[in-house]
Amino acid sequence: MSLKKPVYYTPNTEDLRLEKLRDYQIMDTHSEDTFDKISLMASQVFSCPNAFITFIDDRRAFLKSNLSSLDINEVPKEGTLSYTTLLNDSVTVFNDTKKHSELRNHTYVKPDNGVRFYAGVPIKSPEGYTVGVISVTDEVPREATNLQLDMLKTLSKLIVDKLENRLRYRKSIESQINLMNIALHEIKNPLASINLANDIIRKDINSAERMTDMIKSSVQMMQKRLANLLTQSELEEKDLVLNIEEINIKEMFVRLLNNFELLANRKRQVIELNCDENLIVEGDRSKMSDVLHNLLSNAIKYSYYDTTIRVAAREAGNYLHIEVKDEGQGLNFEDIQKLFTKFAKLSSKPTGRETSNGLGLSITKSFVELHRGNIYAMSPGKDKGTTFIVSIPLKYRTVTDIEAVAELNS
């Protein structure tokens, strides 16, 4: 067969291939019995002394399993027969390498005890990206049979199954950790309201009735959200599930402002609300409330004393347009670049000794995107305030709905 020279070839899907390889987290890991057993089976099927499971990134060929006398675990990818298999993107066989002029000076072919027989099969992810190669070699020429090559293909599929199972398990663990982080974040604000209400009751017994109502509301909120998260955890899905219903945005804002009144009063802040009447949006009430709650909470937390926070909500075409504008510390360019990143450390600091765990905006962004919406922030610079803008479709559409509309418009 002919040899495609790596120097002239650049795969169009190389970035996607490398991303999948990174997802597997297999490079530079220790040898494992599972992979060595698969290599041993390959060696036995071909009656060859050498077998390899190789993963190839942008510059190296990493030998995850090396059943040979070679005392190495990685080599530069260029010039390796495994990389040739990756480029060919199919079963690659050299029954006698000496019969291929382009291989005669090959690093692993040229020596007297060099490779004379080679058979390699790509290790393909379910998406079709070749992340590695399983191969066998010998110092003498051989004839590979179709049955042997079919067995090698089967072994490559076993490797992919192993990688995918690990990936699913890891993502499941990450999903559970994310749910835990969300739970911890969502109970923090209701607990703060309860604590403030308790302080006011101790100072002014006449406000007890109003404060006990707030405490009851906060406790019910925590119970509902924790129950939702437990249900989500039982589903064992990565994406959060939405319970779609009609939501009156002004009513939701008014209720939130009542809850935030204590926090704002502590810093002598004024919250102005400008919201269209009867503004209805289809969405998950709990998660929409979390979005607005986090934005208002941040505005209060990072704004100075004696300032005004302006909240606006209106209909813009087929979208709900929300703005939360403060007169706080503002954002610099670096802040905006990493604003919605989990656990991001920003230059702004809470102005009233409040705590921050860096999760709020990350969670907010995920909830907005679940509603097929967008969120971004604008700031003229440090100490010039920040405006958060949220845009969400008034009518919720599933992925199937969106695909159907796209097909009609095409």
**What is d(CA 145, CA 45) in angstroms, rounded to the nearest whole number?**
10
pLDDT digits (tens, 9 = 90+) for 100-114: 888 878 888 888 788
pLDDT band of residue 138 (cuts 50, 70, 90) is very high
Q: How many residues does the chain have?
A: 410
pLDDT band of residue 297 (cuts 50, 70, 90) is confident
Contact assessment for residue 247 and residue 284, using Cβ atoms and an 8 Å cutoff: no
- Strand pairing of 319-325 and 387-393? antiparallel
**What is d(CA 111, CA 405) in angstroms, rounded to the nearest whole number?**
63
Among 82-96, 215-229, 338-352, the least confident range: 215-229
What was the pLDDT predicted at 11? 47
What was the pLDDT predicted at 356? 67
DSSP-derived secondary structure letter, 295: H
Residues 6+ apart with CB under 8 A from 282: 244, 245, 246, 247, 393, 394, 395, 396
Among 188-202, 229-243, 352-366, the least confident range: 229-243
pLDDT: which is higher, 7 or 386: 386
Q: Which residues pair with 272 in a beta bridge?
A: 310
Residue linked to tokens 């090559």: 149
Q: Secondary structure of 95-131 in the HEC alphabet? A: CCHHHCHHHCCCCCCCCCCCCCEEEEEEEECCCCCEE
Written as one letter, the residue type at 81 is L
pLDDT digits (tens, 9 = 90+) for 249-259: 999 998 888 87
pLDDT band of residue 268 (cuts 50, 70, 90) is very high
> Reduced to 3 states, what is the DSSP secondary structure of residue 290?
helix
> Reduced to 3 states, what is the DSSP secondary structure of residue 313?
strand
**Vertex 299: Cα angle to 298 and 300 (nearest 5):** 90
Helix H or strand E encompassing 369: helix 360-370
DSSP conformation letters of 157-193: HHHHHHHHHHHHHHHHHHHHHHHHHHHHHHHHHHHHH
Contact assessment for residue 339 and residue 332, using Cβ atoms and an 8 Å cutoff: no
Written as one letter, the residue type at 176 is Q
Domains of the chain: 6-168 (3.30.450.40), 242-410 (3.30.565.10)
Contact assessment for residue 298 and residue 360, using Cβ atoms and an 8 Å cutoff: yes
pLDDT digits (tens, 9 = 90+) for 54-74: 999 999 999 999 999 888 889
Helix (H), strand (E) counts: the chain = 10, 13
pLDDT digits (tens, 9 = 90+) for 219-241: 666 666 666 655 555 444 444 56
Q: Which residues pair with 388 in a beta bridge?
A: 324, 377
CB atoms under 10 Å from CB of 280, counted, come to: 15
Percentage of residues in the chain having pLDDT higher than 90: 41
